[in-house]
């Protein structure tokens, strides 16, 4: 059966890496396009509108080609991911089926629900990819407008304005609007959608199995870093009736608790029975959660700087603006890595390098 720790390992998958690399490629395309333009210091607003229209169209077409090229591989990797999760989750129930005298097999009901979530997730990712080309075009036009505004204001010369604009692009990359209308990175949008779907799949499989075996209780794995509001369901065994009160917690975003259904004689005809394994005190949960959140913050800073270095490396390094921003980004990356290591070691937690992994970044490349 899949544990919270195992579920978190699904975060490192080829689909998220694919979109991370796509963000790097498209952002570098926009930076190169800006660098290819002539000095716009003396341009009129009418000339800028023409430049924005022409450049925006070129960026859109290139982004569309890159996005369309990912379609087949995205579907292939997504299907493999769902199949892996289904098989791993079901394998954990083999002993339970045998103990109940039932044939162990993946039922049609399980296959149907997994296929349904897979299709929905694939549709969501497909819709995201459709938005990426438009977002790339908008990002280019906004960057061009930002560059022109800085130069026209007289606060920047053209070279300084270009450095500032390139740095802002490398930091933000391509963004999409989430359901609340907020800008979010491609990687974050994909990760949130994918992990929510995978967690739901694991829990829905378990619930279906529970129906098939006549479960009378749920067994929920222990996660030492779970959010404080979820501690009530962490590492416990509770009757099905008791669990109904807390089932909504499992459906919240970024909850990796997996509910495994079981039949145990001590829970027969017990409606409100709960066994708390007593893993941690409330104070320990609070402390662990705070530490983990801070470690994630420092790890995210490292990933963001690696992304920035990778984007700038793919851009035109012959440009003085790119070269100088690349040097600065490499220095910022080293500082971020040092802070991440220092924080982890000072709090006696593993320096988890998986947390700082970034597709497209290769420390052995000579970036300058």
| Same domain membership, residue 117 and residue 43 | yes
pLDDT of residue 165: 92
pLDDT of residue 275: 83
When comparing pLDDT for 61 and 325, which is higher? 61
Give dist(CA 255, CA 195) in Å, integer. 9
- Please tell me the pTM assigned to this model: 0.81
pLDDT of residue 362: 67
pLDDT of residue 366: 46
pLDDT of residue 273: 83
pLDDT of residue 314: 79
238-241's contacts with Cβ under 8 Å and 24+ in sequence apart are: 238/273, 238/274, 238/275, 239/267, 239/270, 239/271, 239/272, 239/273, 239/274, 240/210, 240/215, 240/216, 241/271, 241/272
Q: Crossing angle of helices 320-346/282-314, nearest 10°?
A: 160
| Same domain membership, residue 235 and residue 201 | no
Domain tally, the chain? 3
pLDDT of residue 367: 40
> Which residues, other chains included, contact 282 with Cβ-Cβ below 8 Å and sequence gap of 6+?
228, 231
* Residues 191 and 7: beta-carbon distance below 8 Å: no
| Same domain membership, residue 137 and residue 87 | yes
| Same domain membership, residue 226 and residue 197 | no
| Same domain membership, residue 340 and residue 220 | no
pLDDT digits (tens, 9 = 90+) for 318-365: 566 678 888 888 999 999 999 999 999 999 988 888 888 887 776 644
Residue with tokens 């604009």: 165
* Residues 96 and 261: beta-carbon distance below 8 Å: no
Which of 157, 185, 213 terminates a domain? The answer is: 213
pLDDT digits (tens, 9 = 90+) for 231-255: 889 989 999 989 989 999 988 877 8
In whole numbers, what is the pLDDT of the chain averaged over residues? 88
Q: Which domain holds residue 261?
A: 215-279
| Same domain membership, residue 170 and residue 47 | yes
| Same domain membership, residue 85 and residue 195 | yes
| Same domain membership, residue 196 and residue 54 | yes
Which of 213, 234, 258 terminates a domain? The answer is: 213
Which of 195, 213, 231 terminates a domain? The answer is: 213
Cβ-based burial of 106 (10 A; exposed 0-12, middle 13-18, buried ≥19): middle
């Amino acid at each position: 059966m899949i544990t919270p720790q195992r579920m978190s390992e699904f975060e490192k998958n080829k689909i998220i890496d694919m979109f991370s690399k796509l963000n790097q490629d498209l952002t570098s395309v926009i930076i190169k396009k800006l660098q290819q333009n002539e000095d716009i210091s003396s341009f009129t607003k009418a000339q800028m509108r023409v430049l924005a229209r022409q450049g925006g169209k070129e960026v859109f077409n290139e982004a569309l080609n890159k996005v369309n090229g990912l379609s087949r591989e995205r579907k292939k990797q997504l299907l493999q991911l769902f199949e892996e999760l289904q098989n791993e989750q079901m394998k954990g129930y083999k002993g339970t089926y045998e103990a109940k005298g039932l044939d162990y097999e993946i039922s049609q009901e399980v296959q149907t629900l997994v296929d349904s979530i897979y299709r929905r997730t694939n549709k969501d990712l497909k819709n995201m990819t459709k938005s990426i080309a438009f977002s790339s075009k908008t990002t280019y036009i906004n960057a061009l407008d930002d560059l022109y505004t800085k130069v026209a204001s007289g606060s920047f010369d053209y070279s300084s304005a270009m450095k500032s604009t390139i740095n802002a692009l490398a930091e933000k990359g391509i963004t999409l609007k989430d359901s609340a209308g907020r800008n979010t990175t491609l990687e974050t949008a994909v990760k949130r959608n994918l992990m929510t779907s995978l967690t739901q799949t694991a829990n829905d499989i378990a619930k279906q199995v529970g129906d098939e075996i006549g479960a009378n209780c749920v067994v929920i794995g222990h996660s030492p870093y779970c959010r404080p509001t979820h501690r009530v369901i962490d590492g416990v065994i509770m009757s099905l009736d008791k669990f109904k009160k807390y089932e909504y917690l499992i459906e919240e975003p970024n909850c990796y608790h997996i509910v495994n259904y079981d039949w145990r004689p001590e829970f027969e005809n017990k409606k409100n029975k709960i066994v708390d394994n007593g893993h941690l005190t409330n104070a320990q949960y609070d402390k662990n959660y705070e530490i983990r959140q801070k470690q994630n913050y420092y790890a995210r800073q490292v990933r963001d700087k690696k992304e920035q270095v990778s984007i700038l490396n793919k851009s035109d390094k012959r440009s003085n603006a790119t070269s100088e921003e690349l040097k600065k980004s490499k220095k910022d990356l080293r500082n971020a890595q040092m802070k991440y290591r220092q924080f982890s070691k000072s709090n006696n937690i593993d320096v988890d390098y998986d947390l700082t992994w970034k597709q497209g970044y290769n420390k052995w490349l000579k970036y300058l």
